[in-house]
Amino acid sequence: MKKIAIFASGGGSNFKAIYENIISGNILAEICLVVSNNPSCSAIGFAEKNMLPIFIVNKALYPDSYYRDMILKQNLMKADINLICLAGYLKMIPKNIVTHFENCILNIHPALLPDFGGKGFYGMKIHEAVLQSNAAESGATVHFVDDKYDHGPIVAQEKVIIEADETVNLLAKKVLAVEHRIYPEVVKAFCENRIIWEHNQPKIEVSIED
C-alpha cells in the first residue's frame, strides 16, 4: 500500500476527491501527511476533521530557506512517503524534494498544458486567460512535477468544450468535475504500479478490471 502526502494551500477539493477514493477502497493507499503553507486553509481543516497528520511549512515558521526545505524533506522521509500529490499548492516545490521524489510527485492543472501554465497561472486566472484567448476547448492535465511550474511529463488530459456563452465560473465548474475524475484515476494507477515509461514519457497501463 502506497503512502501519500498531500500538498494544499486552499480548499483542497482534489485532496478530498483522492481521500474519498481511498476511503471507498478504490485507491489502495494511505494519506500519511498533509502539507500546507497556509494553516487556516480549508484543506487543513479537512485534514484535522479526519485526523490526518499535518505539517505546516512557511517563511513565518521557518525563515531560513535551506532549513525550511530540509525539515520538509525530513517530515516526508519520516512518514515514508511514496507519492506526493499537489492539490492546489501555490508554492514552488523545493529542488531537494523534486530530486529525491523524481517521478513520484503529481500535480493537477486546470488547463490543457503546455498552454496556460507556468508562474502566475493559477485558480480563476487560468480560466479567464482561456476565455480571453477565444480557445475552443479547455480541460485538465495531470503531470509529474519537475523544477519548473506546470512543466513535467504529462500523464493524463481530458478536454471540455467551451460554449459560445461560457463564463469563467461555468468553465471552472466543468473543468473541476474533470479534475475530480482524472486525478484519482492517475493516483490509482500509480499506486497499482500501472504507470510505465516509454521514451521518457509516462503511460498508464489498462488494468484487467478496466
The full set of domains in the chain, from first to last, is 2-204 (3.40.50.170)
pLDDT digits (tens, 9 = 90+) for 180-189: 999 999 999 9
Q: Looking at residue 77, what is its pLDDT?
A: 98
Interatomic CA distance for residues 25 and 184, integer angstroms: 12
**Closest of 172, 25, 28, 14 to residue 85, by C-alpha:** 14
Question: Do the beta carbons of residue 46 and residue 12 sit within 8 Å?
Answer: yes
114: left (phi over 0), alpha (psi -120 to 50) or beta: alpha
Interatomic CA distance for residues 90 and 50, integer angstroms: 23
Interatomic CA distance for residues 181 and 23, integer angstroms: 16
180 is known as an active-site residue: no
Q: Which residues of 189-210 are buried (b: 16+ CB within 10 A; e: fewer)?
A: bbbbeebeeeeeebebeeeeee
Question: 3-class SS at 140?
Answer: strand
Q: What is the pTM of this model?
A: 0.95
pLDDT above 60: residue 119: yes
pLDDT digits (tens, 9 = 90+) for 60-107: 999 999 999 999 999 999 999 999 999 999 899 999 999 999 999 999
Interatomic CA distance for residues 150 and 157, integer angstroms: 13
Interatomic CA distance for residues 190 and 27, integer angstroms: 10
Residue in 100, 109, 151, 199 annotated catalytic: 109
Amino acid occupying residue 100: H
Question: Do the beta carbons of residue 113 and residue 140 sit within 8 Å?
Answer: no
Here the cell at position 120 is: 502566475
Mean pLDDT within 160-186: 97
